[in-house]
């Protein structure tokens, strides 16, 4: 089995400057991710979100709030694409707690690899921060980063989702 792991904030949806997405009304899908998700879906990749969400750990939102945002994301993707993500792993632990699930640790990815019997060599993780790439490297999957990153931070680095998709699609077979 193969999977496209995707960070949520900054890849699937617009980042909220200086805060956390705590309600569905704050969640704005980035349509530039649609071609990547569509290609991966058409080529048999599971699409799995792996996202740190410490807003819950900080008490800024509840688990129910996080689930409401996830449900909204799924509804938006299904409306636009005809499908949603296959699974979502969220880590609500605070930074600095040594959590094995919080990126840059690979726990969320390793959980999915185990649960879905994935072959890491056939998986990619698309994110927008070096912690995403670090988690991907530690889990043994290929990595791609969107944004102003050093080219050595990931297998593929591109300044925007359109260019990242163009570079990544040939690898998703």
Give the start-end residues of each E strand in the chain. 3-6, 46-52, 87-91, 124-127, 142-146, 156-158
> Out of 9, 65, 132, 153, which one is annotated catalytic?
9
Instruction: Tell me 60's DSSP state.
Output: S
Cis peptide before 94 (omega within 30 of 0): no
7 is catalytic: yes
128 is catalytic: no
Inter-residue contact 99 to 120 (CB < 8 Å): no
> Out of 7, 65, 93, 153, which one is annotated catalytic?
7
Residue 50, beta-bridge partner list: 89
Q: Which positions are catalytic?
A: 7, 9
């Amino acid at each position: 089995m193969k999977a496209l792991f995707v960070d949520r904030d900054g890849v699937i949806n617009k980042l909220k400057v200086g805060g956390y997405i705590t309600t569905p009304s704050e969640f704005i899908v980035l349509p530039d991710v649609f071609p990547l998700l569509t290609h991966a879906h058409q080529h048999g990749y599971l699409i799995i979100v792996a996202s740190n969400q410490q807003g819950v750990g900080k008490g800024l939102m509840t688990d129910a709030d996080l689930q409401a945002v996830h449900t909204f994301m799924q509804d938006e993707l299904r409306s636009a694409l005809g499908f949603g993500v296959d699974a979502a792993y969220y880590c609500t632990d605070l930074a600095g707690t040594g959590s094995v699930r919080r990126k840059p640790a690979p726990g969320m990815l390793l959980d999915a690899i185990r649960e879905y019997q994935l072959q890491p060599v056939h998986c990619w993780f698309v994110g927008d921060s070096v912690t995403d790439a670090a988690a991907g490297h530690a889990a043994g999957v290929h990595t791609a980063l969107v944004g102003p990153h050093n080219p050595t931070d990931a297998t593929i680095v591109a300044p925007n989702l359109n260019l990242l998709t163009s570079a990544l699609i040939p690898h998703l077979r």
